[in-house]
Amino acid sequence: MAASATLEPASAAGPGTDEIRIGNTIDYTGPVRAAGVVGKVISAYFDKVNAEGGVNGRRIKFISYDDTYNPAKTVELTHKLIEEDRVLFMFASVGTAQNAAVQSYLNTNKIPQLFSISGSSMLDHPNEFPWSMAYTPSYETEAHIYAQYLLENYPQGKIAILYQDDGFGKDHVKGLKDGLGGKIPIVAEIPFKVTDPTIEPLIAKLKASGADILFDATTPKFTGMAIKRTAELGWKPLHVVSSASKMISAVVPAAGLRDAEGLLSASFALEGDDPLVVNDPGLP
C-alpha cells in the first residue's frame, strides 16, 4: 500500500473527544516474541494512567498489533492504525527492519514515530526523517563500547561473529569492526536469517574457527540457542551479547541458567551518582 497523499491528520484526542489513541506494532507470536513483554508492560502502564484519571481527563487507548516480526505485516498494520484506527502517533514499535519499513510513510504524512525500539542508525537522520525518534542507544555505539572493552582486556583474542542478517545485525558488526580498527583478528563471521529454524550448525562452525571470543548480534530466541549450543559443544568463549537480548530472561531458563553465566552485555539506565539526574523524578 502506498503512502496516502491526502491522509488527514488525526486529532489530538483521536476519533473521539475523550480518548487519545496510540498505535504500536510488536512481535507477540513470531521469532522475537520475547519482545511481546514490551507491549504488555506499556499497556499495563497506560491502564494505570487511565485508572488515575487519564491525561487531562482523556483516556489513553493503546492499540497494539502483532506483526510477527515481519516487515510486510508491519506496513499493513501501521496503515491500519493510521488510516482506520486513527491513532495520533506510533509508539515503541519493535524491530529495525520493521521500523524502517514504515519510516517514509509516517514521515511523509507527518505522523510521529516515537521511541522506536531499535538502535539502528537509520532512525538518526533528523533532516531526512524529522518525525522519527529511537528509544534505544545506537547499535553501532554499543558495539564500539564492546570493542573498547575487548581491546583493553583481550588484546590477544580471536573473535567469531554470529549476526542477524539485517540492519540490526549489520549495525552491530559495523560498530565492532570500526571500534576494533583491525587490532583484534576476526577469524569467522556468519550471518543467519530470523526465519531460520536453528543456528546450531553455525555455532559448530564458529567454534571450529579457534575463536575465544563470540560476538553474538542476535535477538533473544537465537541468543538462547547460542548459549545452549556453546555449552553442549564444550566451547567456552567470552560470550558478548547485544543489549537487545536484555529480554533474554524469557529464554535463558530453557537454555540453562548455569550455561548463561559469564555473559557480557550492556544496559542503559540513569545512574544515581550522576549530578545531572540526581533530582530526576524518574530515578528510583
pLDDT of 12 reads 43
Q: Characterize the bridge pairing of strands 186-192 and 213-217.
A: unpaired
pLDDT of 135 reads 87
DSSP bridge pairs for 63: 23
Q: How far apart are CA 175 and CA 73, in angstroms?
A: 29
Question: Which domains, and CATH codes, for the chain?
Answer: 19-134 (3.40.50.2300), 139-260 (3.40.50.2300)
- Neighbouring CB atoms inside 10 A of 250's CB total 16
pLDDT of 171 reads 94
pLDDT of 14 reads 47
Residue located via cell numbers 580471536: 158
Give the cell for residue 4: 496516502
pLDDT in tens, the chain (284 residues): 333 344 554 444 445 568 999 999 999 999 888 889 899 999 999 999 999 999 999 999 999 999 999 999 999 999 999 999 999 999 999 999 999 999 999 999 999 999 999 988 888 889 999 999 988 888 999 999 999 999 999 999 999 999 999 989 999 999 999 999 999 999 999 999 989 999 999 999 999 999 999 999 998 889 989 999 999 999 999 999 998 876 555 555 555 667 777 888 888 777 777 788 777 777 66
Length of the chain: 284
Query: How big is the chain by its Cα radius of gyration, in Å?
Result: 21
Q: How far apart are CA 265 and CA 251, in angstroms?
A: 16
- Neighbouring CB atoms inside 10 A of 233's CB total 14
Closest C-alpha among 215, 225, 220, 228 to residue 256: 228
Cβ contacts of residue 215 below 8 Å, gap of 6+?
Answer: 146, 159, 160, 161, 162, 163, 172, 173, 176, 240
pLDDT of 120 reads 86
pLDDT of 3 reads 39
What number of CA atoms fall less than 13 Å from residue 39's CA on the CB side?
25
Q: What is the pTM of this model?
A: 0.81
Closest C-alpha among 1, 2, 32 to residue 219: 32
Closest C-alpha among 261, 163, 161, 165 to residue 211: 161
Q: How far apart are CA 214 and CA 232, in angstroms?
A: 15
